[in-house]
Amino acid sequence: MKSRLLTQVIVSGIVLVIISMLAAPVFGAPLTGVQGSRVQVNFMSQDPDPADAGKDLDLRWQVVNTVSGSVDSLSFRLDAGYPFLFEAGDSPYKELGASAGTNEDKTFYILHYKLRAADNAVKGTYNVTLNWNFGSGWIKQEFPVYLDPKRADFVVGSLTTSPEKLIADTDDAKLSVGIDNIGKGNAENVKVKLLMPEGFKATYSYSDEDSLGIIEKGASKQADFYVDIGEDVTEGEYDATLEVSYKDENDDSNKYKTQNIGLKIPVKPAPFLIVDSVKSTPGNIVPGTEAVVLVTVKNTGNEKAESVSLRVFKDAAQPFDFSEKSDFIGKLDSGDSGEAAIKFTVEKNAVPKKYLVDVELRGIDDKQNVVIFRRTITITVNDGSSAFPLKTVGVLGGLAAVVGVAGLTYYRRNGRNKRL
């Protein structure tokens, strides 16, 4: 009797286990449905971790129904904003339908979503929101997704200039900029273009561009540019932009990418010398004469200039023989003016016209740096024949008047004697 009863209990137990196995959900199988009055959702993993820009990633959740029961439908919706996109063939909505639930928290389903990270995504932790509804309204919860692009990323490492101190009215200034790749990928075919603010321009064609080749992750290369700084540029820091174009070794599309990084160009305070006025002695310069030109030099900068001098650059094609090509002016504080005298002789066969003569203004700033400014003055040579005949006409006119008076006097006297 006892043996029969024990046999019945064992058989009943085996049958119950078989029935339970047939009714229970499959552990670890793709999510097809979860029932119950309460649903728990736990984030399991992201693959890859961290996610990479421009790449697909898989997000997986563990879905557990902790209370036995049934529901007509279990729905999920994933809200994923930038930098995540539903471009990997998946949809935000998943309808799982109705099925039997379980009260065993060790039995769960896998909810799977596939997204793509934007090409220009930057490093950071971003939240996605999973919403689910099993008949009693939507429930939502945020989950963090970590993104760290395995691509090149550039910053300015250093800036050195030649001359060391950039000032206004500087030509052919060299800017050497360190381009550091702080990203997680190598960059190939790297090219850098300097986009300059107003008052700056390339010294010559393509001197605002440089090709650097490959910059490996963690490495740096130097880009060199040659620029002219306008004379109206004042003291301060000027915002420029480095436009970096490159190919990312991890990009299967093999397309060029562009990254803009900021660069500040410092312009230091300095003396700034200009030609304020020019006058000559004599005022009317003609061929074959000696003359002195007085050049007024003014310091319009924001620093004093010591040992200011002026020097003339003689052009062999110009009809001037300078007996003194330079003159010392002295110290000019900001806003002060001084004069330089230049003596020369005009050749006799000089063509009357305006001549543009190059001069160099030189001084020393407060840090003992020599500052040089190239300027131009105008010397006007007039037609000597237009001045001399005027004098001749005056003299001849005077002589004619004297002769006329003398002739009239003679005529009157001669006529009087004949009447007598």
- pLDDT for 379-388, tens place per residue? 999 987 654 4
Residue 399 resides in a domain: no
Nearest alpha-carbon partner for 76 in 98, 91, 94, 54: 94
Give the total number of structural domains in the chain: 3
Q: What value does the mean pLDDT take over residues 141-162? A: 89
Residue 395's pLDDT band (boundaries 50, 70, 90)? very low
24 vs 242: which has the higher pLDDT: 242
Task: Report H helices in 165-294.
Answer: none
Domain with 127 in it: 23-147
The confidence score (pLDDT) of residue 22 equals 34
**Alpha carbon of 124 to those of 44, 105, 151, 218: distances in Å?**
19, 33, 14, 19
Residue 286 resides in a domain: yes
- 126 shares a domain with 47: yes
Residue 1, Cβ density class (10 Å: 0-12 exposed, 13-18 middle, ≥19 buried)? exposed
**Looking at the chain, how many residues does it have?**
420
Residue 44 resides in a domain: yes
- 38 shares a domain with 143: yes
The confidence score (pLDDT) of residue 396 equals 47
**Alpha carbon of 353 to those of 14, 282, 287, 319, 384: distances in Å?**
122, 16, 11, 11, 12
Residue 88 resides in a domain: yes
- 42 shares a domain with 74: yes
Residue 6 resides in a domain: no
Residue 371, pLDDT > 60, answer: yes
Residue 41 resides in a domain: yes
Residue 269, Cβ density class (10 Å: 0-12 exposed, 13-18 middle, ≥19 buried)? middle
- 278 shares a domain with 244: no
Residue 112 resides in a domain: yes
pLDDT in tens, 291-322: 999 999 999 888 899 999 999 998 889 999 99
The confidence score (pLDDT) of residue 284 equals 93
Q: What value does the mean pLDDT take over residues 138-162? A: 89
Return the percentage of the chain with pLDDT > 70, whole number: 77
The confidence score (pLDDT) of residue 227 equals 97
Q: Judge contact between 117 and 84, C-beta under 8 A.
A: yes
Nearest alpha-carbon partner for 57 in 34, 80, 77: 80
- 245 shares a domain with 227: yes
Q: What value does the mean pLDDT take over residues 213-226? A: 95
Kindly report the CATH number assigned to the domain that includes residue 333: 2.60.40.10
- 334 shares a domain with 236: no
